[in-house]
Structure 1
Amino acid sequence: MLINQTYSLPPSLLNCFALRLNQARWPLTHGANSKKPSSQGSHFSPPPGPPPTTQLPPPKFPASPPLLLPYFQQYHHHPRSVLVSRVASVSTLLQCPVCRSKWKDVPFQAPKNVPSFQRSGSLHSYVPNASPVHIEPDHFSDDELVPDVSQGQPSSSRPHAITVKTLPGYPAVSASESFSKFGVLVRVLAPPLDNTLHHHRAPIDIVNVLDVSGSMAGKLILLKRAVNFIIQNLGPSDRLSIVTFSSSARRILPLRTMSGSGREDAISVVNSLSATGGTNIVAGLRKGVRVLEERRQHNSIASIILLSDGCDTQSHNTHNRLEYLKLLPTSIFPSNNASGEESRQPTFPIHTFGFGLDHDSAAMHAISDESGGTFSFIESIDILQDAFARCIGGLTSIVARDVQLKVRSASPGVQILSTPSGRHKNKIFDQGHQATIDIGDLYAEEEKNFLVLLSIPVFPTVDGEEMLENMPLVDVSGFQKDSVSTDTVEVEGERVEIRRPQFLSSTDRVPCLEVDRQRNRLLVTETIAKTQRMAEMGDLKGAQALLAEQLSTLLSTASAQAGDYLCNRLEAELKETRKRMETRELYERSGRAYVLSGMSSHSWQRAATRGPSMPISSGGNSDTRTTTSYETPSMTTMVTKSQNLNLAPRE
């Protein structure tokens, strides 16, 4: 039926109009004996007699009824704002403009790009002015399929296994002494991804969940530019879906491959975005999760990118502003699992981007932290594209999946005390003789460092003589999954040994700077987390004092005095954190978001963007406050590409 297809009218509205037409008793077919109704007035005049009381089925209109079409255009094809304005005087009353019956909700309104009918010389022809409207299906199983890239790929072209290196905190420990909390550094380094291998990497599925509430009105130009950058830099086998949310959520693009028409359609829907309404983050995330859960083809790598500049205004009315996060599904918020048991379903990492000074940084950090993503604080909208570029540079360079480290005691009496690993899951078992650390996915050339703290006993002797001079401490090994084939690959490990002489030399007492700098990173991260909790409770003076104390401790360490670059960054971070906690107003304005973004980056050892500006990646001296640690070469390359694009003249 032409009009039902064109204007997407609900059956209830068509029944209303059919009833109105029946009252007028106007013939629906224009035969030779049909009488043209009077065009005087705004409505047809019904003939005498009582109106029918039964509801009629939708009428079958002719191809181009001369008087019916203007009537539909007047009442049922107006923009949403016009229709709502007719009842705005009574906020709780919604009426059908045809029959005046009460509605429970405003009927579906077609988007602005709905085809409109224009005169073209014939009553039976129309000229569409835009692409057809795609109605959101009940089930998101309409994803575009991509071929399996693992088939036919030679084994020689697949990425190499990760590299594991170990370093003891000291080269030797006296045989007559025990040592508690002896540090062993375990470093994991992912292999590079050259241009040849890049074409054979695993395809990724990304869902962009974008805030298009009214507060975004002045920021849409830069948002569109940033999302278009993502579209242009995904590979032909990568898939992208776009979900927008304001007072409610809508999927405006299914999972499409970023090649040919898929890329063109993505650019088209992004360029048509408009801002209005409130902010319903939960609705946007729930719909984004549905896109990934209901897809037909489950690519092994899938992530969600969430961007918002405000607080959720629709999903919560409790005193605890984070209580509404319990409405999120367990696939992105595992702690919502009512059984308390660890869910076996995959968790989709959500990389959140909160920008401006009004976004809910606590909620954005909680969402990313729970799902395994990062939280970026975009203090200035101007660097949004660069922040997206850093994130995409990592996601498009995953070379290893489900990486796990195994640590096993190698000598009697050597016990594993703790494995501080941030947000990476760890487990110590077998009475401290074994431990595991779940690292997850690794980007190309990404480096992660973990400290294993040991208890070392007195070295055994026989009749006062040393049995052996070298003592094995732990064996480190692991495994990973290939990002393309998902085959499990064993990781070649190392054995950590130290000397146990009767007397220590001066060089034996020199700590390993690599281990020392990682201790500093953990201590600074722990201190900042403590001061953040103190600031939330209003104890800014106490937070300031604790930050000053930690800064003094940091500067006295061996690695800091040696000019270690990580210690220099930690020093700058402590100073900047202290500055943003000087007053309550400053902390609420930007301090909370800055601190939470830093905690996110340190706890996952993964780059996140924070602050008002982004350093130029091409070189030169940059402000250490904005220099991002944990950045991989792929991230740097993508950020440089974004910055060069911004510097290029626009037509």
Structure 2
Amino acid sequence: MAATWRKLKKSLSHKLSLNSSDSSNSSSRPPRPPTPEISATVGPSPSSLSSFSSSSSSAISKLSRSFSSRLSKKNCAICLSNVRAGQGQAIFTAECSHSFHFVCIANNVKHGNLCCPICRSKWNAVPFQAPTTAADPQQNNLGQIHTNVYHRHQSHLPLQPRVHPEPLSFSDDEPLPSTSPTRLSGPQTVAIKSYTEYSAISVAESRPTFPVLVSIRAPPLQDANDHGRTPIDLVTVLDVSGSMFGTKLALLKSAVKFVIQNLGPYDRLSIVSFSTIPKRVFPLRRMTVDGRESAILAVESLRANGGTDIVGGLNKGVQVLEERRERNPVSSIILLSDGRDNCNYGSQTTSSANQVSEFLNQLPASVRCSNIPVHAFGFGTDHDATTMHAISDSSGGTFSFIESVAMIQDAFAMCIGGLLSVVAQELRLTVRSASQGVQIVSIPSGGHMSEISDESQQGVVDVGNMYAEEEKQFLVYLSVPISTGTRNREGVKKTPLLDVSCLYKDLGSNELIQVVGERVEILRPKAWSSADEAVCLEVDRQRNRILVAEGITEAQVMAEMGNLEGAQAILAQRRSTLLTTAAAQAGDGLCNWLEAELREIRDRMASVESYTQTGRAYVLSGLSSHSWQRATTRGDMTTQILTMSEGGTSHTSVGTTVGYETPTMVTMVRMSQNLGVNPAA
């Protein structure tokens, strides 16, 4: 063994001495990797290492610097082979002075990457390669040459799964089965309930802004198994840039594999990864037993390196859905990133409103017009929360802030718990004045589009998809005139206020269903009684929710301007107002949660550092949740969940985030936590 080690030292010393020889000689012969058999069976002793390191450390350092210099100046950063004139290969030199093989960089640009792979500077002049008419190996064999050179240089690295070239079109989705799953529509439909702020208004009194709460609740799933729910086409768009190396990537793989294991044979999944270059690493395939195994192999093939091209990754994910030949009833994109798009934004550390607008303009119209919801997950303290929130908000999806590494799987679990339980699509809520003189003043609807028409006689809210047992609450503010209504049996007048209905597509029967709620009326006595003065707590708690959400929005604007003191003053004022309301003084659970949320945001706005690191993302994920009345992951809050029922509110510790969770979300998160986080799984 000693003799073998001496031979190895002698050989290595000889190679190090060659580093100072003529560069033309060294560049003509690629460095030979160490012999695997020797390195695997022979280990140097500590004494030999100490004697050897003192004499060769300077040479090794010199070799490292020389190799790095040659890699950036004399090697193509894409295929890693030598870039020299006279080798029969066209060379492209960019504005930043970095050179690449023309074929390599043209293929890179073809995928939408307009920045230098080495220095990340954005190019104004980019290479373009015209399509070839025939694949003649004698005339167009540069790709094979590059592949061989690359593998020769990388022969000492661990074997990785073969990556097949992407097709020009993504119309290669796996066909849906000829027999769709049996989804029988149950006896339950969307339920509508309405509440007035007070049970009566005196006959001689008018109200310019009288609130009426309209609540809609989706029916439960008829069958929790795969055969009883609506199948989905899901695309995961995953950041695998260099910052995801190590534990981050391992936990991301575990989370995606959890998603794969919970998809059924009628669901389809595609996986897109992005770093400097976005790639579709797995086509849209059904999650049968074989499909799951193939998807898991694709996940295991992910490697972290390069920059961050969010635009390219998201465009490729949208392309998968837009070019599919067949469609499941529900489709969505899950986007995760821990960094900032440095291929389209440059080196800025914050995103201005103009930059976000320009960024969104680079995305497909199907995202900007809410046709394909993107559920975005910002991971860690360095992601671009402003841009991620803008992407999700414009698409009709949600933005979640994953502060803790261990929360990735739970965050994904809660998201797919909703996506796998869609029971109603394209739901439109309609309210119409039921009396002459009663007018609709406003409908605060958050992210949902709303419209008041017909001379303030009708209002419509586009709710969209609803998950099983999901609730949406909308306050409708009315102008109520002096009473002109009819009298009831007791001789008390009453005024009809609203007629409420909704129309939606039932995914169980694939039919349009219309639900008509009870007419909303109010008593008009000559004088108020003590019972009439009691505020409806259902209305009050939802008014408090809007009050707090609007306050958080105002505080966030102040914080972005650098006025943290002003932001905290707004939050303190909203908290004081909240605590004086009837619902809060009655111990309402939602009000308790809102008060805790205000305190948490104040803490995260204590300094510029805390706001930029976690405060901004925490606030935006909360605003996303309030805007869509849909659960999001927020910060590192993993132990509290708010459940609301007809009789009031209660808190249940199940290990997920707070607010708007549905039973299927809670169940999925419990499954995730019972499995535990195992990066090696």
Deviations 1:169-204 (A, max 9, x none): 110000000012111111111111143675132210
Which residue does 1:338 correspond to in 2? Answer: none
Distance 2:312 2:621 in 1: 24
With normalisation by structure 1, the TM-score equals 0.78
Which residue does 1:328 correspond to in 2? Answer: 363
Which residue does 1:585 correspond to in 2? Answer: 609
Aligned counterparts, 1:273-284, within 5 A: 273-284=302-313
Amino acid at match of 2:665: M
Helix, strand or coil for the counterpart of 1:332? helix
Instruction: In structure 2, list runs of 5 or more residues that go unmatched.
Output: 1-27, 30-65, 93-99, 105-142, 644-649
Which residue does 1:88 correspond to in 2? Answer: 72
8 Å CA contact retained: 1:207, 1:304 = yes
Which of these residues, 257, 277, 280, is aligned with residue 251 of structure 1? 280
Distance 2:637 2:660 in 1: 17
Deviations 1:487-541 (A, max 9, x none): 2111132210110011110110111000000000001000000000010011111
- Gap change, CA 1:170 and 1:113, over 3 Å in 2: farther
Amino acid at match of 2:176: V
Which residue does 2:388 correspond to in 1? Answer: 364
8 Å CA contact retained: 1:401, 1:482 = yes
Which of these residues, 395, 400, 406, is aligned with residue 424 of structure 2? 400
Which of these residues, 219, 223, 248, is aligned with residue 252 of structure 2? 223
Distance 1:377 1:586 in 2: 15
- Gap change, CA 1:131 and 1:588, over 3 Å in 2: closer
8 Å CA contact retained: 2:601, 2:619 = yes
Which of these residues, 232, 239, 243, is aligned with residue 261 of structure 2? 232
Aligned counterparts, 1:434-583, within 5 A: 434-460=458-484, 469-583=493-607
RMSD over equivalenced CA pairs, Å: 3.4
Deviates more, 1:610-619 or 1:305-314: 610-619
Which of these residues, 155, 159, 168, is aligned with residue 196 of structure 2? 168
- Aligned sequence identity (%): 53
- Gap change, CA 1:205 and 1:92, over 3 Å in 2: closer
Helix, strand or coil for the counterpart of 1:508? coil
- Gap change, CA 1:482 and 1:622, over 3 Å in 2: closer
Helix, strand or coil for the counterpart of 2:518? strand
Deviations 1:309-368 (A, max 9, x none): 00000013487442323211111023xxxxxxxxxxx71000000010000000000000
With normalisation by structure 2, the TM-score equals 0.75
Aligned residues: 550
Deviations 1:459-479 (A, max 9, x none): 1289xxx98622110000011
More helix by share: 2
Structure 2 residue 169 is matched with structure 1 residue 139: yes
Deviations 1:21-65 (A, max 9, x none): xxxxxxxxxxxxxxxxxxxxx89xxxxxxxxxxxxxxxxxxxxxx
Instruction: In structure 1, list runs of 5 or more residues that go unmatched.
Output: 1-41, 44-81, 119-128, 335-345
- Gap change, CA 1:627 and 1:115, over 3 Å in 2: same
Structure 2 residue 299 is matched with structure 1 residue 270: yes
Helix, strand or coil for the counterpart of 2:594? helix
Aligned counterparts, 1:66-465, within 5 A: 87-90=71-74, 95=83, 99=87, 101-104=89-92, 105-106=100-101, 107=104, 133-147=163-177, 153=182, 155=184, 157-158=185-186, 160-195=188-223, 198-218=226-246, 219-317=248-346, 320-322=354-356, 323-334=358-369, 347-460=371-484
8 Å CA contact retained: 2:404, 2:636 = yes
8 Å CA contact retained: 2:425, 2:506 = yes
Distance 2:444 2:151 in 1: 56
Amino acid at match of 1:639: V
Distance 2:330 2:149 in 1: 35
Distance 2:653 2:624 in 1: 21
Distance 1:558 1:649 in 2: 48
8 Å CA contact retained: 2:234, 2:270 = yes
Which residue does 2:54 correspond to in 1? Answer: none
- Alpha-carbon deviation of 1:595? 0.3
- Gap change, CA 1:287 and 1:115, over 3 Å in 2: farther
Distance 2:238 2:303 in 1: 11
8 Å CA contact retained: 1:114, 1:131 = no
Structure 2 residue 663 is matched with structure 1 residue 633: yes
8 Å CA contact retained: 2:183, 2:508 = no
